[in-house]
Amino acid sequence: MNRRIRVLVVDDSALVRKLVTDALRGDPEIEVVGAAADPYAARNKIKELNPDVLTLDLEMPRMDGLTFLRILMEQHPLPVVIMSSLSQRGSEFALEALRLGACDVLGKPTGSHSFGELGPQLIARIKAAAGARLARRGAAPFSAQAVASARVPPRATVISARQIILLGASTGGTEALRTVLTRLPAGLPGIAVVQHIPPVFSKAFADRLNEQCAFEVREAVDGDRLKPGLALVAPGNFHLMLQWRGDHYAARVTGGPQVWHQRPAVDLLFKSAADCGAAPHAIAGVLTGMGKDGAEGLLRLRELGAITFAQDEASSVVYGMPRAAWENGAAQRQLALDRVADFIAHPQLPTSDAPALASALS
């Protein structure tokens, strides 16, 4: 039997420490080796207990979680799952933590009755983090001057309303998506994104991308018109799907059951795009993440004429979703993360796939 995943819980709230510990102890593959109320105690316990994964609160006395995370990643890198408050301030802190190298983020419970589905979600995130490659700090986005100049599309660019770009990601995906989207120029088709992310955090994520990208990025609202120069991000805890309404794609933002234990689910976005005739005009890809979400939908898109890709193993924080999409034949290409943006802007496929390329660009 493999060794259990050793977890250290770091939070200034005794109630949260107990809730997290109790939830994790219910899984036979996880062992909670200790808990700490602040970063100073955590530092000592890391040396003493040698944990595999930390859960980390961001707002703590004596030293805030972001400062501790920055020091930790520089001096003793460990996989970290952030527990952050479901507020604008908490969301901004959580996104900064992901930029600094944290693997994932989860909304912090406020009481014993609010833990709800967080237990299973936390267990899944701990397991993903335990197998993750510690991400390097992402590449810097465009400078303000570069963004301003990139907002002007090439004069010869003509984009059909049918053309579309579809992206899905999970663990490690916020930074992977930032790396890709901030390197894309203006003048591209509409973009629809599903990132496995909790409620509230998704809006902060979209707002931050909007400040950094050469095109508008916002959290999707039901009925939104997806058009060139716009990227829509699925709201946390809601599925994002697409419909064709005469001359444009419209966003459907709905509840409903989880798919692959996720809501939003990448597969539902991809399959909805296939169902509304987008495939021959689509470029679609799966980035880093645990599990198999997106592989089935990407395969359907490819079979119907889309250009498809998956992030490669070496650049993925977790090579789960991309592996599934590659092994089932859904992805035509595997790409290093730093090559994805260029591929989206200038897709190149083997000669045998030339018909798909010609169709998607028409």
Which residues are part of the catalytic machinery?
A: 170, 196, 293
CA separation for the pair 301, 298 (Å, rounded): 5
Does residue 308 sit in helix, strand or coil? strand
Q: How do strand 5-10 and strand 53-57 relate by DSSP bridges?
A: parallel
Calculate the alpha carbon distances from 237 to 89, 116, 195 in Å. 19, 13, 11
CA separation for the pair 119, 25 (Å, rounded): 10
DSSP string of 334-358, one letter each residue: EE-HHHHHHHHHS----GGGHHHHH
CA separation for the pair 234, 94 (Å, rounded): 18
CA separation for the pair 295, 217 (Å, rounded): 25
50: region left, alpha or beta (phi > 0 left; psi from -120 to 50 alpha): left
**Structural element, H or E, at residue 6:** strand 5-10
Where does 131-194 have alpha helices with state H?
Answer: 144-150, 173-181
CA separation for the pair 22, 31 (Å, rounded): 11
CB of 80 within 8 A of CB of 105?
A: no
Residues 6+ apart with CB under 8 A from 47: none
CA separation for the pair 33, 46 (Å, rounded): 10
